[in-house]
Amino acid sequence: MNSTMEDELQPQLVYALVFGFILVLGLPLNAVSLWILLRRHSLKSPSAVFMVNLAISDLLLVISLPMRVYFYATGTWPLGATACACITVLFYSNIRSSTIFITTICVDRLLAVVYPLRSRHLRTSSNAWKAAALVWLFVVVVSIPWSVKLTRFLRGNNESTCFAFIRRDPNRSSMAYFQFVLVFTMLVVNIVCTALVSWTLRTHLSDSARVSNK
């Protein structure tokens, strides 16, 4: 019995240490990044708009970590089902939004480097804000139904175990599958965009070198 409890506590302590490390580094770094972006950079460029939204998304993700650290360190949850569901949804929602904003930054770089003339009418700050608003709307629309179902599930079961009990949520498998598909799709887009940008830059640099030599 004691060995079983020790086996359950060890992964929880690892989670507490990992999330605590991310919290200690992520909170000040993302706050400073957001402050620099807002104070030093103009929000008139689409790149700056997407970077600000990425910093906000990462900051919201980090804000959801303190109670996770507390839970995994103590094994108890004192705040009830609604708070547990809200923090869980905040955590996963901002993983999605961060992933999407990283991809939008990559696509923006692709348009700027590979199609600089044809994308001038697309790469505007107003379009960037519209795209950011659509990302947040998508995240909210996906998150609200899951948060309602998760709250009902926790209230009908043992809410004091919070994140440990969420693993038994019947809706968790479908959300995990959706998360995997989303992240995999964004990864493919990022790889393709990065490859095209790198190829374009190498081509232009080699052409410039040949012109200089001539």
Dihedral, CA of residue 142, residue 143, residue 145 and residue 150, to nearest 10: 140
The reported pLDDT for the residue numbered 190 is: 92
Residue 8 has pLDDT above 90, yes or no: no
Banded pLDDT at 124 (limits 50, 70, 90):
confident
The reported pLDDT for the residue numbered 36 is: 87
Structural domain boundaries of the chain? 2-213
**pTM for the predicted model, two decimal places:** 0.81
State the maximum Cα–Cα separation within the chain, in Å, rounded to a whole number: 80
pLDDT tens digits for range 81-123 = 788 888 888 888 888 899 999 999 999 999 988 888 888 888 8
User: Rounded CA gap, 85 and 150, in Å?
Assistant: 6
Between 152 and 125, whose confidence is greater? 125
The reported pLDDT for the residue numbered 101 is: 93
Tokens of 159: 């809410």
Pick the CATH number of 2-213 from 1.20.1070.10, 3.90.1150.10, 1.20.120.140, 1.10.3080.10: 1.20.1070.10
The reported pLDDT for the residue numbered 211 is: 45
User: Rounded CA gap, 113 and 119, in Å?
Assistant: 10
At position 77, the amino acid (one-letter code) is: W
- Angstrom CA distances, 2 to 5, 13, 72, 73, 120, stand at 5, 16, 18, 18, 65
